[in-house]
Amino acid sequence: MHLLEGEKVTKYFGGLAAVSEVDFYVDEGEILGLIGPNGAGKTTLFNLISAALEPKPGVIKFRDEQINGLRPYKICRLGIARTFQTVKIFGNLPVIENVRVGSLFGPLKGLSTAEATKVALELLEFVGLSKVAYTPARDMTLVNQKRLEVARALATKPTLLLLDELMAGLNQTELLDTMELVKQIQKKGITIIMIEHVMKAIMGICDRIIVLHHGKKIADGTPEEVANSKKVIEVYLGEASDAGS
């Protein structure tokens, strides 16, 4: 049994198939990378999994139970959390309150307020934001806002975490730190699907990669298989000399 499985998942925007008959799965404990050119349908696929959108047609199953058609908060409580490509933090609330929203409302069984605060502080420590716990979230740098989104998502006690371009716009040091953070999350026993353009990160930490192009899946395999696939090089990676830069 796969943890998450999609069968012929499709989504049209008007006449355009943003995601077209994509079959995918992720197994427990894996880090699955989702790559492809801009407009390939990666974020749309995330939106379909997290129920911001509904696939038509297509089926998405979580632990063998159909989850498409549910509302976003239900998906979250089932154990699928996400971050956003353009950060969507609660800017005017202090950092710690952002995370407490997650721990108070995200888990299937709600925590007491004291427990929620404790969990929030631990997670801020985990992502390295303890020092700014009481700063309004909007005052932080982009890197820290992205880390805050990760902490908020983790606070909902997910089994599956969807990371949408967590590494975009980071400098070299931040990139390495963030890659380390993702590995740490995997060590907690959380399965991860990540959308990323930074090849170094993708090739470095993913167990498996799916490549989308014009809404269709064009490759699915280990980083080596994908990096050597003719089709992938043609539409996305470019010549071998460019890949991995």
Partner 1 sequence: MNFSSINWKRAAMQPGIPVLLLILVALAPLYGSGYIVTLFTYFILYMVLSVSWTIFSGSTGYISLASAAFYGVGIYAAAMFGERMPFIFVILIGGIASFILAFIVGAITLRLRGIYFAMFTFGLVVLMKEVIHYWEITIEGTRGHFVIYQSNETIFYYLLGIFIVTMIVAYIIRKSRYGLALASIGENEEAAGHTGINVTMVKVITFAISAVFMGAAGAVMATKFTYIDPGVAFNPMMSFSPALMAIFGGMGSIYGPVVGAVFFSYLQEWLMTGSLKNYYMLIFGAILVLTIIYLPSGITGLIQNLWRRIRGARSAPTRG
Asked if residue 217 binds partner 1 (CB under 8 A), the reply is no
Q: What is the largest CA-CA distance in the chain?
A: 54
Nearer to partner 1, 20 or 47 (CB): 47
Distance (Å, rounded) from C-alpha 91 to C-alpha 98? 9
Q: Are 104 and 113 in contact (CB under 8 A)?
A: yes
Asked if residue 156 binds partner 1 (CB under 8 A), the reply is yes
* Amino acid found at 239: E
Rounded to the nearest whole angstrom, what is the least distance from the CB of residue 57 to partner 1 in the complex?
A: 24
Residue 120: phi, psi to the nearest 5?
-60, -45
Q: Which two tokens stand for residue 68?
A: 């498409």
Which listed residue (65, 134, 173, 187) binds partner 1 by CB under 8 A?
134
Around 228, how many Cα atoms within 13 Å sit in the side-chain half-sphere? Answer: 5
Which listed residue (42, 100, 147, 217) binds partner 1 by CB under 8 A?
100
Asked if residue 159 binds partner 1 (CB under 8 A), the reply is no
Asked if residue 121 binds partner 1 (CB under 8 A), the reply is no
Q: Which stretch binds partner 1 (CB under 8 A): 36-44, 79-87, 166-174, 217-225?
A: 79-87
How many Cβ atoms from other residues are within 10 Å of residue 231's Cβ?
12
Asked if residue 42 binds partner 1 (CB under 8 A), the reply is no
Residue 157: phi, psi to the nearest 5?
55, 60
Rounded to the nearest whole angstrom, what is the least distance from the CB of residue 19 to partner 1 in the complex?
A: 19
Q: Which stretch binds partner 1 (CB under 8 A): 93-101, 171-179, 186-194, 196-204?
A: 93-101
Residue 114's SS3 state is helix
Nearer to partner 1, 20 or 103 (CB): 103
HEC-encoded secondary structure of 32-97: EEEECCCCCCHHHHHHHHCCCCCCCCCEEEECCEECCCCCHHHHHHHCEEECCCCCCCCCCCEHHH
User: Count residues contacting partner 1 (CB under 8 A)?
Assistant: 37
Rounded to the nearest whole angstrom, what is the least distance from the CB of residue 90 to partner 1 in the complex?
A: 4
**What are the residues whose beta carbons fall under 8 Å from the beta carbon of 193, sequence distance 6 or more?**
4, 26, 31, 32, 33, 34, 46, 49, 160, 161, 162, 163
Nearer to partner 1, 127 or 175 (CB): 127
**Contact track, partner 1, 101-120, x by CB under 8 A:** xx-xxxx-----xx-xx---
Q: Which stretch binds partner 1 (CB under 8 A): 75-83, 166-174, 195-203, 221-229?
A: 75-83
Residues that bind partner 1 (CB under 8 A): 50, 52, 71-73, 75-77, 81-82, 84, 88-94, 97-98, 100-102, 104-107, 113-114, 116-117, 134-136, 152-153, 156
